[in-house]
Amino acid sequence: MKKIDEYQGKKVLVMGFGISGINAAHLLVKLGANVTANDKATPKNNDIVDDLEADGIKVITGDNPISLANEGFDVVVKNPGIPYDNPLVAAFVKQGTPIITEAELGWEIFDGHLVSVTGSNGKTTTTTLTQLMIAENAKHQVKYAGNIGISFSKIAEDLGPDDTLVTELSSFQLLGAPTIHPHIAIITNIFSNHLDYHRTRENYINAKLNITRNQTKNDFLVINWDRDEWQKIAQRSQATIVPFSRLNKSHEGSYVEDGMIYWRGQEVMPAKDIRLIGPQNVENALAAIAAAKLSGVTNDAIKKVLTTFSGVRHRLQYVMEYQERLFYNDSKSTDIEATEVALQGFDRPVILLAGGLDRGYTFERLVPYFKKHVKAMIVFGECKDKMKDAGNQAGVPVIESEDAITAVPEAWKLSEPGDVILLSPANASWDQFPSFEVRGDKFIEAVEELTGKKEQ
């Protein structure tokens, strides 16, 4: 941990009691700040409040009182998910109070080698693969943190100048990380996500590009080269561009040619040996390979990781095989693009479990993928009628079910040996579950109950 004095004697408001907010509040006390912690909800667990107060932190819960804007805070550390049109946040914006996220705080105390990953899809898998690859050859600590569910600042406290940290960063986090400066930045892809938060696609792209804002030619931006738009976006960075591509050969980076993965013209391994399925995971692997090779990782270390790693939980996660049916949990597929990609990963008939929160859009884009890959569909949630319409257009049998749990035995009844039973909802979970993680866990529990086996 780097010694800093920027917060000594400063009055800091931490908004949000998530993992990152709680860790940020305690860290700020160590850095000499006078800390107030605020959450709109009242925590069900009193230990959270007790621990904060025991550290000398003033705690306010049950509201975001607008009066806090008049208390002379020097800095606000905001939970990334709190929008900027929140009345209290808007008041701080209006008066010019600096608003950062915990990722910025983590960067300020970090004293090692930083690799950062962002993108619309594939962030967590790419972050995990990159960390595993670098760790294979490392003589010092290699950790991951960030949007992956582990506090950036908490991990950064325990790392020194020779250590490496691979961070997954969301667009929300990057909006509040003005000085973050990774030596290697990765952009996996950019689609049109979170427009309810960012309002426009350009705003969303700009937020993503904050990952490379402070980079120079001595740093590296590893970026997907498979779309013209992403190639143009790369031109807005001052870093040395390192492309990765599944579709376009580029000797400046990592790519696939005739089934072989290359790094700058040198063979690394056959693409078919990647244990993770699907074209999206080839892309994730290519991104991680580029970052790993830039970090001095050997091909043997890369091969070891890619031939053994079976997936991040809820992200096209292999659950088990039972009576010649394969079960996959892709609960993280909360948008159409992710489900498109998931379906392309299978050359077996798929029984698709899909549906969830109705965000107002329809699913015609999925019709060609349903026609090609899907044998039958089980639909549920607020948007089940819209999902059913797309299935009908594709000529696929569709059955309605209550949710992702009750859909499992329904899918089993429709299945035959050789089939894949895939949860890939194409929608957020919030109509029926508090998170995609809970939805995926409940799906796995239902599979375990059906089969009498534990996930593999």
Note the pLDDT of residue 300.
98
**Residue 45 confidence (pLDDT) above 90:** no
pLDDT, tens only, 247-279: 988 889 999 999 999 999 999 999 999 999 888
Note the pLDDT of residue 199.
80
Residue ranges of the chain assigned to CATH 3.40.1190.10 = 103-308
Note the pLDDT of residue 396.
98
Note the pLDDT of residue 432.
97
Note the pLDDT of residue 100.
98
Band of the pLDDT at 192, cuts 50, 70, 90? confident
**Residue 311 confidence (pLDDT) above 90:** no
**Residue 193 confidence (pLDDT) above 80:** no
Band of the pLDDT at 445, cuts 50, 70, 90? very high
8-state DSSP, 236: T
Note the pLDDT of residue 293.
98
In three-state form (DSSP H/G/I as H, E/B as E, the rest C), the secondary structure along 310-340 is: CCCCCCCEEEEEECCEEEEECCCCCCHHHHH
By C-alpha distance, which of 124, 180, 119 is closest to 147?
124
* Structure-token pair, residue 343: 């379906």
pLDDT, tens only, 346-368: 999 999 999 999 989 899 999 99
E strands in 101-154? 113-118, 142-146
The region, left, alpha or beta by phi > 0 then psi within -120 to 50, assigned to residue 192 is beta
Amino acid at position 431, single letter: D
- % helix, strand, coil for the chain, step of 5: 40, 20, 40
β pairing state of 260-263 and 266-270: antiparallel
CA distance 199 to 209: 16
Task: For the chain, give the percent of residues with pLDDT over 70.
Answer: 100
- Range 103-308 has CATH code 3.40.50.300: no
Find all residues with CB under 8 Å of 376, minimum gap 6, and list them: 351, 352, 396, 397, 398, 399, 411, 414
Note the pLDDT of residue 291.
98
By C-alpha distance, which of 8, 35, 40 is closest to 24?
35
CA distance 213 to 182: 10
Residue 371: other Cβ atoms inside 10 A: 12
CA distance 328 to 225: 29
Note the pLDDT of residue 392.
97
By C-alpha distance, which of 53, 48, 50 is closest to 17?
48
163 with 173: CB under 8 angstroms? no
* Structure-token pair, residue 149: 């569910």
pLDDT, tens only, 400-442: 999 999 999 999 999 999 999 999 999 999 999 999 999 999 9
Band of the pLDDT at 456, cuts 50, 70, 90? confident
CA distance 84 to 176: 11
Mean pLDDT score of the chain:
95
* Structure-token pair, residue 360: 């107002």
Residue ranges of the chain assigned to CATH 3.40.50.720 = 11-100
372 with 422: CB under 8 angstroms? no
> Which helix (H) or strand (E) element contains residue 393?
helix 384-394
Q: What is the mean pLDDT of residues 186-194?
A: 88
Q: Burial of 344 by CB count in 10 Å (0-12 exposed, 13-18 middle, 19+ buried)?
A: middle
Note the pLDDT of residue 63.
96
pLDDT, tens only, 160-178: 999 999 999 999 999 999 9
Note the pLDDT of residue 271.
97
Residue-wise over 263-289: b if at least 16 C-beta within 10 A, else e? beeeebbebeebebbbebbbbbbbbbb
Q: Burial of 111 by CB count in 10 Å (0-12 exposed, 13-18 middle, 19+ buried)?
A: middle
Task: For the chain, give the percent of residues with pLDDT over 90.
Answer: 89
Note the pLDDT of residue 278.
86
Band of the pLDDT at 196, cuts 50, 70, 90? confident
Find all residues with CB under 8 Å of 387, minimum gap 6, and list them: 354, 355, 363, 377, 379, 398, 426, 427
Note the pLDDT of residue 91.
98
3-state SS, residue 444: helix
The region, left, alpha or beta by phi > 0 then psi within -120 to 50, assigned to residue 402 is alpha
Separation in Å, CA 63 to CA 39, 66, 187: 7, 9, 36
Looking at the domain 11-100, which fold is it? Rossmann fold (3.40.50)
Note the pLDDT of residue 43.
86
Q: What is the mean pLDDT of residues 134-152?
A: 94
Separation in Å, CA 412 to CA 120, 311, 377, 419, 438: 32, 23, 11, 10, 21
Q: What is the mean pLDDT of residues 25-32?
A: 98
Tell me the H-state helices in 5-113: 19-30, 46-54, 87-95, 102-109
**Residue 315 confidence (pLDDT) above 90:** no
Note the pLDDT of residue 337.
87
8-state DSSP, 148: T
CA distance 136 to 132: 6
Note the pLDDT of residue 149.
85
Note the pLDDT of residue 144.
97
Task: Output the furthest CA–CA distance in the chain (Å, rounded).
Answer: 67
Residue ranges of the chain assigned to CATH 3.90.190.20 = 317-451
By C-alpha distance, which of 172, 153, 171 is closest to 114?
153
Looking at the domain 317-451, which fold is it? Protein-Tyrosine Phosphatase; Chain A (3.90.190)
In DSSP notation, 274-294 reads -SS-SHHHHHHHHHHHHHHHH
Radius of gyration of the chain (CA): 23
Note the pLDDT of residue 8.
98
